Amino acid sequence: MRHREQVRVIIVIAIVFASLALMIGPATAQNPPQPPPSRQVNQQSGDKQKKTQQSQEAQSQNTGDESIKISTEMVQLDVKVTDQNGRSVSGLTKGDFAVYEDKVSQNIESVSAEEAPVSMGLVIDTSGSMRPKLDTVSEAARGLIRQMRPDDETFLVQFKTETDLIQEFTSNQRKLDDALGDLYAGGGTALLDAIIATADHAREKGQRRRKALIVITDGVEKNSSSKEKEVIEAMKEDEVQVYLVGFVDGEASGGLFGKSPAKKAKDLLVLLAEDSGGRAFFPRDVMEMPAIAAQIAKDLRSQYVISYYPNNNRHDGSFRSVRVAVNNRKLIARTRQGYYAPSDREAPKGSRDRRPR
């Protein structure tokens, strides 16, 4: 009996083990061992980093130790178009213009003729020689102020041997009108210093994309520490349109020993104005000032904005010359002479500290 009971126990145990083997075997086959979770995450992260690195390398061109980033910034040109009699021409479209950068034709993105707001500087020569003209010049400046739009802003500067900020940028016409009453004449003429200082100020403090200076002077440079080349370079860098009104007295023709002071003054004013996309005026009588002020205000309003992405997308800080042509050869297009490309390596421009004080 005892032997039979022992045999029964052994048979039951064998049946139990056989059942367990049948249950464990399929489960193991369906769920093979997995690597630790942390190891799986790290492997995915490594693959992702490799893909990201490959993508970054594909998006840049390596030259030595430097990586040249391919990105292009839109260039916007303020363009004034006139006929051969100096009258403004409206109604032109994208197909009427051609843009050349460093003599290479560019694809124009858009052309618009909206009246863009302006950050404007009134820069008035108050040297001793301007004393008889100062009242009329101030009244003409008031005419410009009265034509300001709500989004415009203007600052007022007087210059002699020093450049003085009389009124900071404001849209308040009354403040500007009152500031004109603070002008007084006396001293020498530092025209070049004043142009650099006020162009820098317009660039650094002006809130509007379109920036302009209206400089009224008797034109003859006497006391500046700056040279003509420095002013021309500042005009390129600051991208400010300059309108110059020169009361240049004396003969403009050259004498036996070269150009007269009046001729030199006129040539300089024309060069500075045209290089910036502005214009120079030479009234023979101070009573022409109101009409000139009205013409400047009209010029600032009736400009085209031509936008394009330059073919040259290098960020090398170089100066790019620009020319705008109108398909109708009888029409004349005025704009700035060029612009400085952005630079990934240079410190920001504007290291000069010649702003009006």
Question: Whole-structure pTM over 0.85, yes or no?
Answer: no
Residue 202 has pLDDT above 60, yes or no: yes
More confident residue, 48 or 129: 129
What's the average model confidence in pLDDT over 228-255?
79
Establish if 319 belongs to a structural domain: yes
Establish if 354 belongs to a structural domain: no
Mean pLDDT across the chain? 79
Highest mean pLDDT among 105-109, 125-129, 279-283, 315-319: 105-109
Establish if 62 belongs to a structural domain: no
Establish if 59 belongs to a structural domain: no
Establish if 64 belongs to a structural domain: no
Residue 32 has pLDDT above 60, yes or no: no
User: Among the three residues 301, 322, 349, which one is the final residue of a domain in this structure?
Assistant: 301
- Residue 284, pLDDT score: 87
**How many domains does the structure of the chain reveal?**
3
269 lies in the same domain as 288: yes
90 lies in the same domain as 170: no
131 lies in the same domain as 93: no
Strand order in the sheet with 332-334: 108-112, 304-308, 75-82, 332-334
Residues 187/127, Cβ–Cβ less than 8 Å: yes
149 lies in the same domain as 238: yes
309 lies in the same domain as 268: no
Q: What is the dihedral of CA 311, 305, 155, 214, to 10 degrees?
A: 100
258 lies in the same domain as 273: yes
What's the average model confidence in pLDDT over 152-172?
96
- Residue 254, pLDDT score: 47
Residues 276/336, Cβ–Cβ less than 8 Å: yes
The sign of the torsion formed by the CA atoms of 337, 302, 214, 328 equals positive
204 lies in the same domain as 102: no
148 lies in the same domain as 257: yes
165 lies in the same domain as 194: yes
142 lies in the same domain as 257: yes
Establish if 7 belongs to a structural domain: yes
- Residue 158, pLDDT score: 97
- Residue 5, pLDDT score: 53
pLDDT band at residue 137 under the 50/70/90 scheme:
very high
Of 22-31, 34-43, 197-206, 246-255, the least confident: 34-43
- Residue 357, pLDDT score: 61
Residue 28 has pLDDT above 70, yes or no: no
Vertex 327, ends 322 and 332: CA angle to 5°? 65
Residue 23 has pLDDT above 60, yes or no: no
Which pair of tokens denotes residue 167? Answer: 């009124």
Q: List, for residues 280-320, the tens digit of each pLDDT value.
A: 999 988 889 999 998 898 888 889 999 999 999 999 999 99
293 lies in the same domain as 157: yes
Give residue 26's domain range. 1-33
pLDDT band at residue 27 under the 50/70/90 scheme:
very low
CATH number where 139 lies:
3.40.50.410
Neighbouring residues of 145: CB distance < 8 A, sequence distance ≥ 6 = 122, 154, 173, 176, 177
Of 35-44, 110-119, 226-235, the least confident: 35-44
Establish if 274 belongs to a structural domain: yes
- Residue 40, pLDDT score: 34
pLDDT band at residue 258 under the 50/70/90 scheme:
low
Q: List, for residues 319-347, the tens digit of each pLDDT value.
A: 999 999 999 889 999 999 999 998 876 54
Q: List, for residues 260-280, the tens digit of each pLDDT value.
A: 777 888 888 898 898 899 999
Establish if 44 belongs to a structural domain: no
236 lies in the same domain as 284: yes
- Residue 286, pLDDT score: 86
Of 91-100, 169-178, 284-293, the least confident: 284-293
- Residue 13, pLDDT score: 53
